[in-house]
Amino acid sequence: MSNALEQLKKYTTIVADTADFEELTKFHSQDSTTNPSLVVAAAAIPKYKPLVDDAIKYAKSVTQDKKQQLTLAIDKLFVNFGVEILKIVPGRVSTEVDARLSFDTAGSIKKAKELIQMYKDAGIEKERVLIKLASTWEGIEAARVLEKEGIHCNMTLLFSLVQAQACAEAGVTLISPFVGRITDYFKQQQGGKDFVAKEDPGVISVQGIFNYYKKHGYKTQVMGASFRSKEQTIELAGCDLLTISPKILTDLQQADASLVTKKLDASTLPSDIPNKVVPDYKTFIWELNNNPMAHFKTAEGIRSFATDLGKLEKTIEQLLA
């Protein structure tokens, strides 16, 4: 019998928002991602210990320098997880560039190339890897350079049209605009009151970006991310991709197929889509600064990614000692 998840899959590529190997298998995820908090959680599970041990061994074999060992061990650990994930998913795996490089274009490019080289050494071609970068001006500029060299990017921490416009102009492969984190912000602003999915500012933001991209003929894929409810995902049926947590995937499986109709459609776009804008640096910074939600959420996200990485570093430092 068909359910809401099966129906949604007719319009949209669905990705399970987890790095848990079993969940990825269970939901037949197309792509997947690794990030510091997922890796910290997974590394504590005995089954994954060999991946950690291998990363430590590798780092020690390359250098005696403690600081370099730490960086190498962490990069290798991400790649080891990525390689395992690629044995399960048929598509691509995203691997995050150190969030502390979010305002460092050259540093981000260098780190991305090192990760791609490590994948290559492990027998994985760059076509199956997405480099995940924050949607800051510097991150987007890094993506522009990387894409020219055939290294594909997944732009994260994206909360506004101006960030999406800059990403599209940079020719990035994929953006993952957030829904739920936008909802959280505005929900808090109105004293905790919920939104119906149709009027949800997070949903509206992603719909706007999708429509803008299709109207102006951009090839960059839109992958809605960070959902709080199945209703939010249903409002985005027709989006190129959606990444959804196992909990909400299960809710969708238990819901009726008739709940899902195609909501986003490149062939029937609304008439009120903004004209094309090619933001330069000062426009980008100005527009982002004028959007308190996007400005705050981007900064907060970078801080939290950096904190997660710090935690992973603490764990790895102990293992290297």
Ligand X SMILES: *[C@@H]1O[C@H](CO)[C@@H](O)[C@H](O)[C@H]1NC(C)=O
Q: Can you give the binding site for ligand X, defined by CB under 6 A?
A: 15, 17, 31, 33, 92, 94, 130, 132, 154, 156, 174, 176, 223, 225, 243
Q: How far is the CB of 115 from ligand X (least distance, A)?
A: 14
Strand partners, 130: 94
Catalytic, out of 132, 187, 230, 297: 132
215 is catalytic: no
Cβ distance to ligand X smaller for residue 15 or 309: 15
The CB-of-56 to ligand X minimum distance in angstroms stands at 26
DSSP conformational letter for 64: S
For the sheet with 174-177, list strands across it.
13-16, 241-244, 221-224, 174-177, 153-158, 129-134, 93-96, 32-33
Long-range Cβ contacts of 277-283 (<8 Å, 24+ apart):
277/162, 277/165, 278/165, 278/169, 279/162, 279/165, 279/166, 279/169, 281/137, 283/162
Identify which of residues 97 and 174 has a Cβ nearer to ligand X in the complex: 174
* C-alpha gyration radius of the chain: 19
* Minimum CB distance to ligand X smaller for 69 or for 220: 220
Structure tokens at 85: 């994930």
Q: What is the C-alpha separation between 254 and 248, in angstroms, rounded?
A: 10
What is d(CA 2, CA 6) in angstroms, rounded to the nearest whole number?
Answer: 6
Q: What is the nearest approach in angstroms of ligand X to the Cβ of residue 149?
A: 19
Report the nearest approach of ligand X to the CB of residue 176 (Å): 4
Cβ closest to ligand X, residue 72 vs residue 236: 236
Which residues are catalytic, by number? 132
